[in-house]
Structure 1
Amino acid sequence: MELKKTLTPEEVQEKQQEIINLMSQLSSTQSDIGDWKITKTYEARMREEADPYDTKALMDARQEVRDRINELQQEIDAAEQGL
């Protein structure tokens, strides 16, 4: 059985900040993987136009960010539960 490392308050704060930064990447109008690109793709499809971006690459990149957010949150939750 693998023992979980107890996180210091500073480590928890660093992980929480990374989560905030990653969430910002998903929503920022300045981000290459921001929601705005999803909106533009949706609008193009509604107009029956070609996707303006490589949708698969965009979705894959966004999923990687969401996976990292989930991983960090699980680490924080485990530390808070003393696992």
Structure 2
Amino acid sequence: MDEKEMKKQMEREHKESEVRTLINRLSASSSDIGDWKIIKCYEAKLQDKPMPYDLAELISERQKVRDRINELQGELESE
């Protein structure tokens, strides 16, 4: 494998790693935008309680992460 191919492979691995990290950010129980916060908001809504988190901000931040995942996956597919 020549230097150019090695660089390309390293870039691909970096993108794949970033995708995994972002996916984990959406689901991890320790994440600031994790699924658990969405569930807590849903539970509050079902019980007519106040939202424990800023739902609009949470959804917006989660969408940014999804957009980045889609961008990276698109780049990986086109390689």
With normalisation by structure 1, the TM-score equals 0.85
Residue of structure 1 equivalent to 2:75: 75
1:31-42 equivalences in 2 (<5 Å): 31-42=31-42
Percent of matched pairs sharing the same residue: 46
Letter of the aligned partner of 2:59 in structure 1? M
Q: Which residue of 2 aligns with 1:65?
A: 65
How far apart are residue 50 of structure 1 and its match?
1.1
Runs of 4+ in 1 over 2 A off after TM superposition: none
For 2:75 and 2:51, the matched residues in 1 are separated by 37
**Which structure 2 segments of 5+ residues have no match?**
none
1:15 and 2:5 matched? no
Q: TM-score with structure 2 length normalisation?
A: 0.90
Q: What do the CA deviations read for 1:20-62 (whole angstroms, capped 9, x no partner)?
A: 0000000001010000000000000010111110000000000
Name the amino acid aligned to 2:50.
A
- For 1:32, give the aligned amino acid: D
Unaligned runs of 5+ in 1: 1-5
Distance apart, 1:10 and its partner CA: 1.1
Map of 1:26 onto structure 2: 26
- Name the Cα RMSD after superposition: 1.4
Larger RCO (CA within 8 A; separation ≥ 6):
1
Query: Higher helix proportion, which one?
Result: 2
